[in-house]
Amino acid sequence: MEERGSPDGDPARSLEQGPEGPETPIQVVLRVRPMSAAELRRGEQSALHCSGTRTLQVSPPGGGPDVAFRFGAVLDGARTQEDVFRACGVRRLGELALRGFSCTVFTFGQTGSGKTYTLTGPPPQGEGVPVPPNLAGIMQRTFTWLLDRVQHLGAPVTLRASYLEIYNEQVRDLLSVGSPRPLPVRWNKTRGFYVEQLRVVEFGSLGALMELLQMGLSRRRSSAHTLNQASSRSHALLTLYVSRQTMPPGDSGEPPVGGKLCFVDLAGSEKVAATGSRGELMLEANSINRSLLALGHCISLLLDPQRKQSHIPFRDSKLTKLLADSLGGRGVTLMVACVSPSAQCLPETLSTLRYASRAQRVTTRPQAPKSPSPMAKQPQRLEIEILQLQEENRCLRSQLGQIDPKASRLSGARVAWAQRNLYGMLQEFMLENERLRKGQSQLQSSRARAQDEQRVLAQQVQELERRLLCACYRHQPHPGPAPSCPCVMAPPPPCHALPPLCSCCHLCPLCRAPLAPWACACRELHLPQVFGPKAPGGVPLSAQPPPWAPPCDPGSAKCPRERSPSDWSQTRVLAEMLMEEKVVPSAPPLPVGPPDTSPVLRGGAAVPNLARRLEALRDQIGSSLRRGRSQPPPSEATRSPSRVLPPC
């Protein structure tokens, strides 16, 4: 028995020893599907026999010696989907992805050999009909395991997914919002090959991820041909992106790590003659075979010990571009080779086995992302922040969606009401301001009017007082015609204690005009009789100087006595009394009543007083004139100041 393809060392163990360690070979497991009902009906024989858990024996149809192939694991047709999941080592890749490594699982083999079945279970039995749990493939089981693992990590992990297919050498987004359209494959130094504008969807639950898987599966191209009723016509790549922030953030010094786990369901190589493909199917088959050929070529070159010097033509196809990192770069790769047991498929089975045997001698240098520099940390931090904000945004959107539509209508009405009220309040304030402005201007104009009125009244009062004094004077008994007082225009004191209008040799005390000489010669005649023939002090009034006269020389005959201070103060008081009816301007009063009532003027009470006083003066003048014609002037005792002038 010939045993071929046994790799040096155990790849699983080499990964356990440390992903940063030596070169790690691609891990290959073999799955042999059971004989199908159709094959059994046709009486086909199995050409494959499993020996132990890692060796497969192939019996050539011509009866030659068996050929043995050794892989990481060999799983025959009796093994369940769960057995395959547990034995293939995909969980190790999941762990490595959580630690930041880039990991790939891909199925490889002839069309109809069970690649899609191994990864995702049997083809859908109807639209939206899920795969029975016992038949779920490696992908669904890994999803379940990974999300459970993430929950027990104790560190925040962000999970995202993308799903694309390479159909006729065009990359199409299976998760695109609209219908899939060709996307370009680009390359740069940091990212290597990548698909531009590929939609990457964040998810937080197993259900959400399963929905994404179903969406992609339903959009993927598949057709029926002789060997497979649901043959995949494209290579499909579903990638899970794991972003993890170690706990506590920042304390451990570990940067956030981002790994990925990619599941690749390759379209099967097919002999067009065997599948009977025509037209579009044939074109698809050619495209599939070309990309698989490019993949085989790359693997052959990667096996070359001098490969570091040689050029690996990853750019020959979209498939090899996107698998470049998994095959020859820093990734960790698992290949699940699928074969049919039927002797009718032996040539393709042998080709697959040889291919897989060579692949497991290909090594990669797995590398976790290095600690980013402080400059590089910033974008990562920002990315985490963006993710957190996106999460918050999603929560808020869902909360909004949960709000009862009635309640939202209510709150809308409340907002409208508040807006209306605010505008209403604003308008009211504006109107009130306008009213206040009008009131203030009315107030100012009425105050000006009142001041004018007061001024006129005060002038009238003065004029009347002067007339009164003149009338009093004219009716005094004195020789000869009394000349008009030169200071008659001066405001005389308004009360009964008025002194004569002029003095013997001096100026008028009020207007300071020079007094006439007649007043000096007969000054006793000028004295008003209101004091009577004698003054209160016993001195004849004729002998007394007028109280407003300036002090005379004490020795002079014209100055019989010293003027007392009370004389001066009396004069001053009299003068002030005439001038005091003045409204002192003040600040406009605040309206105390309703806005449309007329404001009350401060100091406005003086106007009626003046009017009353004017009236009293008119009476006084009238009575003086009457007395002048018929009777002597009234004595001091009969005229009190309060009766002559009303109090101011």
Alpha helices by DSSP H, listed for 78-125, are: 81-88, 90-98, 115-120
Minimum distance from residue 77 beta carbon to ligand ADP (Å) = 6
In the region spanning residues 219 to 238, those forming contacts with Mg ion, defined by CB under 5 A, are 232
Query: Is there binding between residue 113 and ligand ADP (CB under 6 A)?
Result: yes
d(CA 324, CA 330): 9
Check residue 110 for interaction with Mg ion (CB under 5 A). no
Q: How far apart are CA 491 and CA 580, in angstroms?
A: 13
Question: Residues 640, 645, 648, CA angle at the centre, nearest 5°?
Answer: 125
User: Does residue 117 belong to the site contacting ligand ADP (CB under 6 A)?
Assistant: yes
116 binds Mg ion (CB under 5 A): yes
Which of Mg ion, ligand ADP, none sits in contact with 203, Cβ below 5 to 8 A by type? none
Burial zone of 226 (CB within 10 Å; 0-12 exposed, 13-18 middle, 19+ buried): middle
- The length of the chain is 648
Nearer to ligand ADP, 343 or 368 (CB): 343
Is position 124 an interface residue for ligand ADP (rule: CB under 6 A)?
A: no
Residue 228 binding ligand ADP, by CB under 6 A: yes
Write down the least CB distance from residue 288 to ligand ADP, Å: 10
Residue 122's binding partner out of Mg ion, ligand ADP, none, with CB under 5 to 8 Å set by partner kind? ligand ADP
Residue range at the interface with ligand ADP (CB under 6 A); choices 47-55, 113-121, 292-300, 407-415: 113-121
Nearer to ligand ADP among residue 236 and residue 552 (C-beta): 236
Phi, psi dihedrals of residue 394, rounded to the nearest 5°: -65, -45
Give the chain's largest Cα–Cα span.
182
One of 208, 230, 387, 488 touching ligand ADP (CB under 6 A): 230
CA–CA separation, 534 and 538 (whole Å): 6
Residue closer to ligand ADP by CB (options 109, 180) is 109
CA 609 to chain centre: 69
The answer to whether 617 and 495 have CB atoms below 8 angstroms apart is: no
Report if residue 340 touches Mg ion, rule: CB under 5 A.
no
Residue 114 contacts ligand ADP per CB under 6 A: yes
Under the binding rule (CB under 5 A), the answer on residue 352 touching Mg ion is no
In the complex, minimum distance from the CB of residue 318 to ligand ADP, in angstroms, rounded to a whole number: 19
Among residues 511, 565, 519, 569, the alpha carbon closest in space to that of 542 is found at 519
Find the helix or strand (DSSP H, E) in which 232 lies.
strand 228-232
Contact between 338 and ligand ADP by CB under 6 A: the answer reads: yes
Residue 454 touches which of ligand ADP, Mg ion, none (Cβ within 5-8 Å per kind): none
**Stretches 28-36, 348-356, 357-365, 443-451: which one binds ligand ADP (CB under 6 A)?**
28-36
The region of 113-121, 145-153, 166-174, 328-336 touching Mg ion under the rule CB under 5 A is: 113-121
Integer Cα distance of 648 and 638 in angstroms: 21
b/e sequence 425-447, b meaning 16+ C-beta within 10 Å:
eeeeeeeeeeeeeebeeebeebb
Backbone angles phi, psi at 186, to 5 degrees: -115, 170
Nearer Cβ to ligand ADP (144/223): 223
Copy the structure tokens of residue 579. 């001038």
27 binds, among Mg ion, ligand ADP, none (CB under 5 to 8 A by kind): none
Site stretch for Mg ion (CB under 5 A), options 88-96, 110-118, 141-149, 193-201: 110-118
Candidates 102, 231, 544, 570: give the one binding ligand ADP (CB under 6 A).
Answer: 231
| Beta carbon nearer to ligand ADP, 131 or 527 | 131
**Of residues 169 and 392, the one with the C-beta less far from Mg ion:** 169
Distance CA 24, CA 403 (A): 54
3-state secondary structure of 419: helix
N-to-C CA span, the chain: 144
Q: Does 160 bind ligand ADP (CB under 6 A)?
A: no
Window contacting ligand ADP (CB under 6 A); options: 57-65, 105-113, 385-393, 498-506: 105-113
**Separation between Cα atoms, residue 599 and residue 587, nearest integer Å:** 13
Q: Which does 570 bind (CB under 5 to 8 A by kind): ligand ADP, Mg ion, none?
A: none
For residues 349 and 620, which CB has a smaller minimum distance to ligand ADP in the complex? 349
Nearest approach, Cβ of residue 360 and ligand ADP (Å): 20
Residue 311 CA, chain-centre distance (Å), reads 53
Please give the residues from 241 up to 280 whose contact with ligand ADP meets the rule CB under 6 A: 268
Using alpha carbons only, give the angle 436, 437, 442 rounded to the nearest 5 degrees: 95
Q: Taking CB within 5 to 8 Å according to partner kind, which of Mg ion, ligand ADP, none is near residue 89? A: none
Tokens of 304: 């070359």
Amino acid of residue 68? A
Please select the residue that binds ligand ADP; options are 111, 269, 320, 349, rule is CB under 6 A: 111
Answer for the pair 283, 234: CB distance below 8 angstroms, yes or no.
no
Binding residues among 161-200 for ligand ADP as defined by CB under 6 A:
none
Contact of residue 117 among ligand ADP, Mg ion, none (CB under 5-8 Å per partner type): ligand ADP
- Cα gap 146→105, rounded to integer Å: 15
Q: To 10 degrees, what angle do helices 279-302 and 346-359 make?
A: 40
Question: What's at 32, amino acid-wise?
Answer: V
Which residue ranges make up the site for ligand ADP (CB under 6 A)?
Answer: 33-34, 36, 109, 111-117, 122, 228, 230-232, 268, 338
Which residues contact Mg ion (rule: CB under 5 A)? 115-116, 232
